[in-house]
Structure 1
Amino acid sequence: MRLAGALRVALVAAVAALPWLVAALLLGPPRAPLVLQRLLTRPESSGTAPPRPPRHPCGLSRSCPPGHFAFRLLSGAANVIGPRICLEGRELMSSGKNNVGRGLNIALVNGVSGALIAAQAFDMWAGDNEELLKFLRPLHEGTLVLVASYDDPATKLTDETRRLFGELGSAAAKELGFRDSWVFVGAKGVQDRSPFEQHVRNSRSSNKYEGWPEALEMGGCVPRRAPQPS
């Protein structure tokens, strides 16, 4: 009797489900609401990634015209963050390269090819100014000189050193003072003042950091030197 009762229940359930089965076969499986379908449907890929903005050497906002070098200089921030000198996308001096230090950080570059000639830091607080003179005196015509200060750039500077920087196109070297911020690009043999120079004085009333002025950042395009006829 129990088995017969169970069979009757199963038969009733099958008969009740028959209309739903027929409807499913005729109309297809139930579909989710349109809004839900849109949320669940992944957009088709176009196969191409969105274009990336162009990258220019040394992080400049645009590329330099032909016959120019792209450069960027950052002076040190107080006595905490070191300076940086970049030319044509190459780090010439930086904390990451472990070749910067307190004082004046100077990179000498071939003005025709852009090749690095030398890069050195000169301590102008406790160092020897004579070492800096030996570095600057024998420069060849057309050599580019890129300078970034860090901490104190001036205490050991002599009149001769300031004059040599002036001959490279600097207007600020003659008055550079204790803990001033200074960035500069000049060249051996220039006839006029360099347009690539920034200088901020150390002033208690206007310093950004306690005891130091703000750090400086300067970028641009410096003309290549024309090759000398052989």
Structure 2
Amino acid sequence: MQPRLCAPGWQLRIFHRPETMLAALEKGEHPDLLLLDRRLPRHEGTHVLRDLRLEGRNFPVLMLSGLDSPADRIVGLEQGAQDYLVKPFHARELLLRCEQLLRSERRATISPTSEEETIHLGDVLFHPHEGVLERPGAANVTLTRGERILLLALCRAPGRVLTREQLAHSSGSLISVSSSRSIDMRLSRLRRLLGVVSQGGLRIETVRAHGYALQISPNAAEGHPPSQTP
């Protein structure tokens, strides 16, 4: 099963005990999707899932179980699973369900919220719904859909380093970043446009071997900390 799950370019981490998975989460790992078995050594999968949701972990979960009664499926869904797959199952069905959950999560991730009507980036205003960058005394800049989504992801984590994989996730891409340079091309153009509209006040910093971070120079940010206004 592991080779089938890795075939689409997904990176797979396997944990044999909930404790090791929880330790990875505490270190900052954030899975795009969790496959969680209902029956675990010394643990009940539904209890693990309940605790994850109480901690605010909101990544999608596909629960796998040999228990197939309607009551069992309802318990799994009530505890926070997005889907419930009964064993034995065909490998192709598992792949299709994973793809569906990932697509649904990406659609939700890339859409601006109602609180993100306007985002202040120093003296530049970013309107993510329209994909427009606005600065007093300068011509507006219109971003492509891909550039708008990348900038929105960076704005949601100002100053924090995002990996190419995280940016690809934010853009809704299901293509492995190791086989595509589309993220790099979009970042290059977005970096240039931000530099022009902000006169150097906004920049996308490359952190070697880690990823990228949105930086706002002190002068550009003076009096305008990154924030969202309805």
Relative to the length of structure 2, the TM-score reads 0.26
Q: Which has the larger radius of gyration?
A: 1
Relative to the length of structure 1, the TM-score reads 0.26
Quick check: which one's helix share is greater?
A: 2
